Amino acid sequence: MAATAALGLAGGVYGGGVLAQVRPLAMLDRLEPGDWELRERDGAGVPRHICLRDGRRLIQLRHPGEVCSRIAVEDTDSQITVQYTCRGRGYGRTQIRRESPSLVQIDTQGISKGLPFAFSAEARRVGSCRR
């Protein structure tokens, strides 16, 4: 048992910081705050603007402001996938791929207000938030 613990510690020390903790969904923290334009890929509708102070807001575009439970299915430096449930209000699964701190690709689907939704969009920072 002691040998196993020593090997685990050595793996953490020599493994390049394996023991260091990273904040979950940290990729979203590296997105630039400001005014972001969302364009759905199907070309339908007008581009939508949101004032993004926190990248986590992009997870629940069809359930904005609702308190929902979340589970990170994938969490890397360039892509996250999150499943969320808004008790009694619906659920969703969102994948966000970061191309740069000011450009992401979003794919999301789920149920909102009893109806299914699915869309793909590009979100791009276009300036500062309007007050």
Q: What is the pLDDT of residue 41?
A: 85
Q: What is the pLDDT of residue 22?
A: 61
CA separation for the pair 131, 118 (Å, rounded): 31
Q: What is the pLDDT of residue 20?
A: 53
Please, are residues 86 and 3 in contact by the beta-carbon 8 Å criterion? no
Q: What is the pLDDT of residue 9?
A: 40
pTM for this structure? Answer: 0.80
Low pLDDT (below 70) residues in the chain: 1-22, 131
Q: What three-state secondary structure class fits 14?
A: helix
Q: Which two tokens stand for residue 104?
A: 């992401």
Dihedral of CA atoms 53, 48, 88, 70 in degrees, nearest 10, equals -40
Residues 52-77: pLDDT tens digits? 999 999 999 999 989 999 999 999 99
Q: What is the pLDDT of residue 94?
A: 98
